[in-house]
Structures are given as C-alpha cells and as structure tokens.
Amino acid sequence: LHSQDSRRITENSYFTHVCLRRQTMQSNAVLVAELRHKIQQSFQLAKQYDWLIDSYVLDFYVDNHWDRLPASWNSCFEQLEISQLQSLLTVELKSTECHVWPLSILASRVLLGNLCLSRKLPPDEEPEREPKEQSRFRERQKLFNKSVKLKKRHEIEQFSRQCWESIRKTGVEHLVDIGSGQGNLARTLAYGFDFNVCCIEQNEDLVATARQKDEELSSRLKRQVKVADLKHPVHLSKKVNLEDVDPGQFAQMIRDTFNVEKNSPFQFGLVGLHPCGDLATSLIKLFLACPEAKFIKLVCCCYMKLSTERDRCQDYGFPLSSFSKQIQLNLSYEAREIACHAIEQYDAKLEHNFEELKVHAFRAALEKVLIQIDPALKHSGIKSTKVTNLTFQQYCERATSGMDITLPRELMDSEDTRTNLANWRRVVKFYTLRLMFAPLVESIILYDRWLFLLEQGVDSD
C-alpha cells in the first residue's frame, strides 16, 4: 500500500493499489509510528463528525438533517451556489477561492489534506523507450474493449500496467486472480501483457462465460493482429475457503495448474479487481500464510460489507491491526458505505450536470412519503431511476413500480412535500459535506491494513 508520497489511486475510481514484499519489522519502525499516528488522528476526526458521516441522505427530510448543521455551516451553505461545492471535495486550498468558509470547515480540510491518501496518480517517469509489453498492449488495446464498460476498462488498463511494474521488479512470472468473474482482468493480463494467469471462480456460469470470451478474443487477436502464440488464462471452477485454506495445498494447486515441476522454484502474485468486503482481508491473510506469494495487489470495494467485532464473529475483517484493536477503532456501516462512493463522478456532475443530483432530494422526499404510509417501508429497496425531465410523481411511480403499494396523491402533493422538493439544493449540499469525509474513512481502513501487514513483518514498496 503506497505511502502518502507515492500512492496509486486513479482519479476515476477508488483505486487501492497494494504491492508488498517480505522484509523485516526493524526497517519499518518509523513507518509504523507514522501509521499509528495517522490512524489515531483520523479516527478522532471521524468521531468528531460522526453525526454527519453516519447520516444517510435518504433520511434527510425524515430526520431533519439540515437542522443538525452547526449554525455557522447552516448560514454559509444556505446562500452557497451548487457550483461552489466542488472545492470541498479537494483538500488543496486554491488561491482563486473567494468564498468565506466557516473556520471549522477550513480546519477540517487542512486535516483531511494531511491525513488522507491522495486520489491522484503521481506523474509517471517515462522510460526512454517504451517496454515491449506496454507496446504490445497498446497495439492490441482496442480489441479488449468489447462488452466492458468505460470505467471498468479504465481500471483494468491501469491495474494491468501496475501488475507489469511489479512483475518487472520481482521477477514473478505467474499471477493468481481469486474471484475472477468473467475474466475481463485476466484477458488483459494474459493477452495484453503476456502474463501467466490462473483464475479461480466458484460460479460455474461465470467460468463458462469467461472461457467463451477467451475464445472470442483470442480468435480476433489471431485474425486481426496476426498473433500465433498466445498465453491463455487458465480458469478453475473452485470454491476456495480462505478462512480455512491450507497454504501448502493452495500453492501446490497453483503449481499444478501452471504445470510447474515439483522441485522447480515457483512464486506468484495475488491480484484482485474489486474483491468485496471480507474477501480482500482474506486474500491479505492468504498472502501472509503462503511463502510462494511474492506480492499482492488489490482494488478493493464494498467496505460496508466488512465484518466487524459487532458481528460477533471470531475472525472479523475490520480492524485488522493489533494497534487498531487496542484503541478500539470502529467505523459504522454508514461510514464504510460512504467510503465506496465515486467522488470524481459526483464532482463532475457538480460542475456540469448538477440538475441530475436532484435525484437525491427526490429519493429523500419519497422516503418521507413511504414512512408516512407505513413505517415498515423505511429504507425499502426501490428501482434506480434518473430524474432528468421527470416530475416527482413520475419519479415515484417508476421508483416504486416493483412494490405493491399505492402512493396517496394527498401525500405526494402535500405542502410538506412541495417544501421539501423546493429545498432540493440543501440535500445536494449536505451530501457533498458527507462526501468530503469519505476519503478519510477509506484511508483509515487502508492504513489499518497497511499497519497489519507491517506488524506481520511485511514491507510495501
């Protein structure tokens, strides 16, 4: 996990890049002390604003969130234009800023700048000549884009290049992707960068789809790029119980998959694109237990699905480090959920399409209507619906079309509902304030994982 001066988090995704090698604890004393300090300070800041971080936006009207803001914040944000909110999502104070923020907002932004991991890539040091692996991928790049969304494509390309960097540094020739799904990452790693890739996925349907897509892509490569010799991903339809895995047997399974002779030296890298919840922590523990695992790279997601001490399970996923457990570090489900939001996409909407953000106010207004109908409908799952060119009534009809309920017109068109909808900008402003603290929550989780690995005698690059 890269330190504050060399993190690798892309601007269009919450890209958590972890690359680790086994070294000694003694060389990490300064780093351990720094991480402990950051965890403690970050936790204190998060606790100070837990009233904001833990407030769901869909409860905005039900719980009168606007009235919870400090008086100075309330006065400031009431007159603030939506376009001025963008600066809250960047920790850098710009010389062009002309709005007078409350002192507590300014102080919080300074602290966030000091404590949070950056979400920007450092400038690359371009080699004099492009490596052949990079050149090969660039030559074939467009062929990998079929049925892969732009955001996913961006993540795969960035992540694959980072895998190449680690393989170049460590000399590892094999990669293992657990929870590989349809194999989109594996195809880029194998066909784009010529890596040996083993994919492990328990869903047989996903494995079948992955193999079919492998065949389609390899055929296109042979036909259009005239590639004769390709390294194909190897797909295993297996359920690996990471809570009770035998490291020796696991390494032997990977060795057999790649047909590596018994007495030959063998090492591999563990990779994962969006391992969900506890899967990420299980992969970290597998890395620690398996000597053949040379490095691990994870792009994590779904922090809210992490198990905690409150779940009364013996081996929970957060926190991991002894220090964090000692200080009783904890983050609510709501806090861990906000850490997963795509801040950069939201920031772009603030600048160009802030009318689209009205959906949060529509959802919050609908929530109040639902609870007035029946309190048991609180936080009901509804259909995702865009509000562009929709009235509130049209939005509600579409959003609740899967629910067997009738929305009374007197509630939909009540004075209270009309007032709520007229104040939709307040919802956007409150949501932006919550997002301001989202990187802090994610940083706490990642600092804890980093410290846990250092406590186990592992060092990052």
Distance CA 105, CA 80 (A): 14
Q: Is residue 7's pLDDT more than 50?
A: no
With bands split at pLDDT 50, 70 and 90, how would you rate the model's confidence at 404?
Answer: confident
Collapsing DSSP states into helix, strand and coil, what is residue 116?
coil
pLDDT of residue 322: 96
Which structure tokens are listed for 110? 């300074």
Give the predicted TM-score (pTM) of the model: 0.88
Collapsing DSSP states into helix, strand and coil, what is residue 20?
strand
For 51-103, give the secondary structure using H, E and C.
HHHCCCHHHCCCCCHHHHCCHHHHHHHHCCCHHHHHHHHCCCCCCCCCCCCCH
| Chain mean pLDDT for the chain | 86
DSSP string for residues in 157-208 = HHHHHHHHHHHHHH---EEEEET-TT-HHHHIIIIIT--EEEEE-S-HHHHH
The amino acid at residue 218 is S
pLDDT of residue 141: 66
46: Cβ–Cβ under 8 A, 6 or more apart, which residues? 53, 331, 335, 437, 440, 441, 444
Measured CA distances, 383 to 76, 289, 380, 403 (Å): 34, 43, 10, 9
pLDDT of residue 90: 82
Which tens digit of pLDDT belongs to each residue from 309-334?
Answer: 888 777 889 999 999 999 999 999 99
Which tens digit of pLDDT belongs to each residue from 87-139?
Answer: 898 876 665 667 789 999 999 999 999 999 987 766 655 544 455 555 566 66
Distance CA 421, CA 418 (A): 5
